[in-house]
Amino acid sequence: MLALWVIAGGVFITAYARRNLLENLIKLDKKVVYADTDSLKLESGFDENVIINYNKKVKEKIKKVCDDLDLPIKKFKPKDLKGVEHCIGLFENETKKDCKYTYDEFITQGAKIYAYVDSEDKEIHITVSGVPKKRSSRS
């Protein structure tokens, strides 16, 4: 019976996350260049208040859960491989050397299959589902 609850929980969480992504995709529709299960890539000039307001709402919900259940907020901020905390459920700007990622060119062939020319290093970068990043570059 426990396995059924685990599966149901996983299905709910995935569906809820997708619903949140879609809700914001619809609000930003004219500026969306690419979307997949966990990210949006947007043209410059999008309404940043959509993201700011969404993140604020998520932080408020996390704080309420922590207060109601007497949980430490750190439970909602796992660290990445570099030891940097990331609060779950938030939209983040991808950054590189303290700058927001911007692209001179971007093309996609579907989910998790895209290429871009980075505005800073002028290099072509590709993402292909199942191919390690190191294998998809010239180095």
For 115-126, the DSSP string reads: EEEETTT--EEE
Q: Supply angle C-alpha 43, 33, 118, rounded to 5.
A: 65
Output the pTM of the full model: 0.76
- For residues 71-87, b (16+ Cβ closer than 10 Å) or e, as one string? eeeeebeeeeeeeeeee
> How far is Cα 35 from Cα 23, in angstroms, rounded to an integer?
12
Q: For position 98, what pLDDT does the model report?
A: 61
Angle between helices 48-69 and 2-27 (to 10 degrees): 150
pLDDT tens string, the chain, 139 residues long: the values are: 667 667 788 888 889 889 999 999 999 999 999 988 778 888 888 999 999 999 999 999 999 999 999 999 999 999 989 898 999 999 887 766 666 668 888 999 888 889 989 888 888 988 888 888 665 555 4
Return the pLDDT at 21: 92
pLDDT of residue 29: 94
- Which residue type is seen at 21? L
Beta pairing partners, 103: 118
**How far, in Å, CA of 46 to CA of 88, rounded?**
23
Domain boundaries, the chain: 1-43, 47-92, 93-139
Hey, what are 11's tokens? 């299905």
Q: Are 86 and 80 in contact (CB under 8 A)?
A: yes
